[in-house]
Amino acid sequence: GAERDRVIERIKTLLKEQDATLVAHYYVHEDLQMLAEQTGGCVSDSLDMARFGKEHPASTLVVAGVRFMGETAKILSPEKRVIMPTLEAECSLDLGCPADEFITFCDQHPDRTVVVYANTSAEVKARADYVATSSIAVKLVEHLKDEGRKILWAPDRHLGAYIQKTTGADMVLWHTACVVHDEFRTRALKDLQQAHPDAAVLVHPESPAGVIELADAVGSTSQLIQAARELPHETLIVATDSGIFYKMRQAAPHKTFLEAPTGGHSATCRSCAHCPWMAMNGLGNLLEVLEKGGNEIHVEETVRQGALRSTQRMLDFAS
């Protein structure tokens, strides 16, 4: 309505006035994805969010996503002001890998190269040799394996098991899972596949192994959108956060999209596969942070330098 349009115009003005750019993840509300597109910001997966934030000349980055994405932006661009619509947006993988326990685990495996998912705190990244996102994790571990290295992977156990299976690398795994992707169900997905035999199945690798096994394409959010565009199938069953449909429909407007079934699926839950923390970002708190300030990401300088080493290695490997 008119109020929403007013808020959007006000946000656009404030972004300009503050030399700020909006960096959004595919899982946030489509209003925010649209705003990022319209204002020259970016909507992307976590690797491209990191790259974009680092390369963009704006002095303020407004990161619409979850905390680790804001932290990664700050790790790479300490000179920029990094703010978020909310600082409450966590990630179950980050929460499931506290730095002190993680450091003890690493100390128990001194012979292993430590590779951590980007969905971790700056403290955890500071203890790691490499950071990886889902778009490059398999390639990175493949490369490290070819160098003869044994791997310690944290924190997502499904992604870890998938990398292990794909590369055959010697890996020990941390045990956490994503609360959203862990809910996808193998049996129900098989039933849906049977009902739609011509459909392709697109799966984010944070999903359980049985779900990944049924996939025609496995990859990061950007890679899944690319698969939606490029695969010949007219119907696509998608096992990832439902926020992705905004971009997927743009990428393949004539295709039919079905949500992969989750354990929590019920008549009262229209879209169960949606990250509760991503959902905390909205037009309201975006406007508020631009108007009032606050919600700034700070990373202690020694931690930042440690995390920069492993994060920069990711960017160097990815380029």
Chain positions contacting ligand SF4, by CB under 6 A: 66, 91-93, 119, 178-180, 206, 241, 275, 277-278
Contact 49, 22 (CB under 8 A): no
Q: Is 178 in the site for ligand 13P (CB under 6 A)?
A: yes
Assign 271 to helix, strand or coil: coil
Sole binder of ligand 13P in the list 21, 33, 46, 295 (CB under 6 A):
46
Distance CA 197, CA 200 (A): 8
Selected binder of ligand 13P within 121, 134, 207, 310 (CB under 6 A)? 134
176 binds, among ligand 13P, ligand SF4, none (CB under 5 to 8 A by kind): none
Alpha helices in 153-259 (DSSP H): 157-167, 186-195, 209-213, 221-230, 245-251
H or E, element range at 190: helix 186-195
Using CB under 6 A as the binding criterion, the count of chain residues that bind ligand 13P stands at 10
Q: Are the C-beta atoms of residues 66 and 275 closer than 8 Å to each other?
A: yes
Sign of CA dihedral 247, 252, 258, 262: negative
Pair 262, 272: CB distance under 8 Å:
yes
CA 102 to mean position of chain CA atoms: 21
Residue 179 interacts with, from ligand 13P, ligand SF4, none (CB under 5-8 Å by kind):
ligand SF4
Given ligand 13P, ligand SF4, none, residue 164, with its beta carbon under 5 to 8 Å by kind, binds none
Q: Which is nearer to ligand 13P, 179 or 258 (CB)?
A: 179
* Positive/negative CA dihedral, 223, 11, 13, 55: negative
Residues 217-256 that bind ligand 13P (CB under 6 A): 220-221
- Identify the helix (H) or strand (E) that includes residue 212: helix 209-213
120 sits near ligand 13P (criterion: CB under 6 A) = no
- In the complex, minimum distance from the CB of residue 6 to ligand SF4, in angstroms, rounded to a whole number: 30
Among 92, 121, 133, 242, which residue interacts with ligand 13P (rule: CB under 6 A)?
A: 133
At 65, the amino acid letter reads G
92 makes contact, choosing from ligand SF4, ligand 13P, none, with CB < 5 to 8 Å by partner type, with ligand SF4
Among 102, 206, 262, 304, binds ligand 13P (CB under 6 A): 206
Which stretches of the chain bind ligand 13P, using CB under 6 A? 45-47, 119, 133-134, 178, 206, 220-221
